Amino acid sequence: MPELPEVETVCRQLEPELEGRRIATLEVLDPRWCRPIKPAELEEAVAGRTIESLGRRGKYLLLGLDGGRTLLMHLRMTGNLVLVEGEDRLDPSEGMRLYEGERSASERHLRARFALDDGRELWFTDPRRFGEALLLGDDELDAHLASRLGIEPLSAQFTAAALGEMAAGRTVPLKSFLLDQKGVAGVGNIYADEALFRARLHPLSPAGSMKPEHLEALRDGVVAALEAGIDGGGASIDDYRDGRGEKGRMQDEFLVHTREGEPCPRGDGTVERIVVSGRSTYFCPACQAKLRRRPRRRNRPARRSA
Ligand SMILES: [Zn+2]
C-alpha cells in the first residue's frame, strides 16, 4: 500500500512532466473511481483544463487545475498513477509502451486515463479498485484535507513538542498511534515499523508513555524513515509502481519491516513479527524498549476524548 514516500516519488517524477500540460480528455473506465460523481460529469469538468501543479498531502495526490479546482486522488491499496506514451492506444495488439519504463501488466486494471495535449497519457491503474478521485474547489480543499489529516511529517510543524501534545494521555500502542492519519499524515504500516526501529521504541509501548527523549527519537525516526523511502524511490512489496511504471527499491533496504527471523541490523537480536491493530508489525525485542505506562498524576485535567 503506497505511503508518503511512494506518493511523493510519483509526485516528484510527474510534476515537471505535467505542469503546464492541457488535459485534452479524461476517460473514466470505472464509475467507482469517482463516485458519487458520475463519470461523464467529471470528464466534462476536467477536459480542456490546464494542469498547474501536482502536489501531495499525506497520501493524497493533488492535481491542481486552472479555474481554481483540484482533483484529489488517493491510491489506497493498489492504485498507481503512471505517465505513458499515448501512441497506438486504440490498438492494444500493437502494445502500449509505458513511458520510459517497462510495460506493465496493469493495463487491464486501467480505471481512468487522461489524454494530454502532447500525445502522452496519464493512467490511473488499480487492480483492487479502492483508489478514488474527487474534484474540489480550492475553497473546499483545505477543509476537506484538514478534517482527515494531521501534521505533515516532513514539515517544520512536525516537532517533538507537537508529537508530545498528540500523545499526551494516550494509551494506544505506538504502532497504532503512527498509523492514525489524523495524527501524523502519510505514515503507514511500512514506515511506522521502520520509524519505531530507528527510534528504538517498542511498537506496543503506550503513546502517552514517551518522555521528551523518546519524542525526539520518534520525530527523528519518522523523518529518517520517510526520507530513506523517498531516496529509495518508494517500496514495491506488491503492486506499487512509480510515475514511470517502474518498481521502487526501498523494499530491499528495509531495516526490520518484513524481516522476520533475520538478524537485527544493530546486531543484538532477531527481528520478530507481531500483529498490532490487525497489521503485521516487525521489530527487534532487544533494542526497541517497551515503555511502561506512566503513572497518573493526581488532579490531572481530564484528557481529551478520543
Ligand atoms: Zn536490535
Compute the distance from residue 296 Cα to the ligand 1 centre, in Å: 30
Compute the distance from residue 173 Cα to the ligand 1 centre, in Å: 19
Any catalytic annotation for residue 227? no
Share of the chain above pLDDT 90, in %: 83
Compute the distance from residue 170 Cα to the ligand 1 centre, in Å: 26
Q: Average pLDDT in the 36-57 region?
A: 97
Mark the residues whose beta carbon lies below 5 A from ion ligand 1: 264, 266, 268-269, 284, 286-287
Any catalytic annotation for residue 2? yes
Q: Which residue has the higher pLDDT, 97 or 48?
A: 48
What pLDDT is stored for residue 6 in this prediction? 97
Compute the distance from residue 266 Cα to the ligand 1 centre, in Å: 5
State the chain's mean pLDDT as an integer.
Answer: 91
pLDDT tens-place string over residues 76-127 = 999 999 999 875 544 444 444 444 444 455 577 999 999 999 999 999 999 9
Give the pLDDT band of residue 238 (cuts 50, 70, 90).
confident
Compute the distance from residue 198 Cα to the ligand 1 centre, in Å: 10
Amino acid at residue number 154: L
Give the pLDDT band of residue 297 (cuts 50, 70, 90).
low
Q: Average pLDDT in the 125-149 region?
A: 95
Q: Which residue has the higher pLDDT, 298 or 68?
A: 68
What pLDDT is stored for residue 74 in this prediction? 97
The pTM assigned to this predicted structure is 0.90
The number of beta carbons lying within 10 Å of the beta carbon of residue 271 is 23
| Per annotation, catalytic residue among 129, 273, 279, 290 | 279
| Per annotation, catalytic residue among 2, 39, 203, 206 | 2
Compute the distance from residue 151 Cα to the ligand 1 centre, in Å: 29
Compute the distance from residue 271 Cα to the ligand 1 centre, in Å: 7
Compute the distance from residue 283 Cα to the ligand 1 centre, in Å: 8
State whether the Cα torsion 104-107-111-116 is positive or negative: positive
What pLDDT is stored for residue 95 in this prediction? 42
Q: 82: which strand partners?
A: 123
Any catalytic annotation for residue 36? no
Compute the distance from residue 112 Cα to the ligand 1 centre, in Å: 45
Residue 177 near residue 207 (C-beta atoms within 8 A): yes
pLDDT tens-place string over residues 240-291 = 999 998 999 999 999 999 999 999 999 999 999 999 999 999 999 999 989 9
Please tell me the distance from the alpha carbon of residue 168 to that of residue 19, in angstroms, as a whole number: 42
Please tell me the distance from the alpha carbon of residue 1 to that of residue 127, in angstroms, as a whole number: 12
Helix, strand, coil share of the chain (percent; to 5): 30, 25, 45
Please tell me the distance from the alpha carbon of residue 220 to that of residue 29, in angstroms, as a whole number: 42
Residue 50 near residue 22 (C-beta atoms within 8 A): yes
Residue 26 near residue 16 (C-beta atoms within 8 A): no
Contacts of 140 (CB under 8 A, 6+ apart): none
302 pLDDT higher than 70: no
Please tell me the distance from the alpha carbon of residue 284 to that of residue 296, in angstroms, as a whole number: 29
Nearest to 59 by CA among 111, 6, 125: 6
Give the ranges where 67-159 is alpha helix by DSSP (H).
138-146
Residue 244 near residue 13 (C-beta atoms within 8 A): yes
Domains of the chain listed by start with CATH number? 4-146 (3.20.190.10), 160-283 (1.10.8.50)
| Per annotation, catalytic residue among 49, 56, 57, 59 | 59
Nearest to 219 by CA among 241, 195, 185, 239: 195
**Beta strand 110-116 with 121-125: parallel, antiparallel or unpaired?**
antiparallel
| Per annotation, catalytic residue among 3, 6, 43, 246 | 3
What pLDDT is stored for residue 66 in this prediction? 97
Any catalytic annotation for residue 3? yes
What pLDDT is stored for residue 108 in this prediction? 78
pLDDT tens-place string over residues 192-231 = 999 999 999 999 999 999 999 999 999 999 999 999 999 9
Place of cell 520478530: 272
Give the pLDDT band of residue 33 (cuts 50, 70, 90).
very high
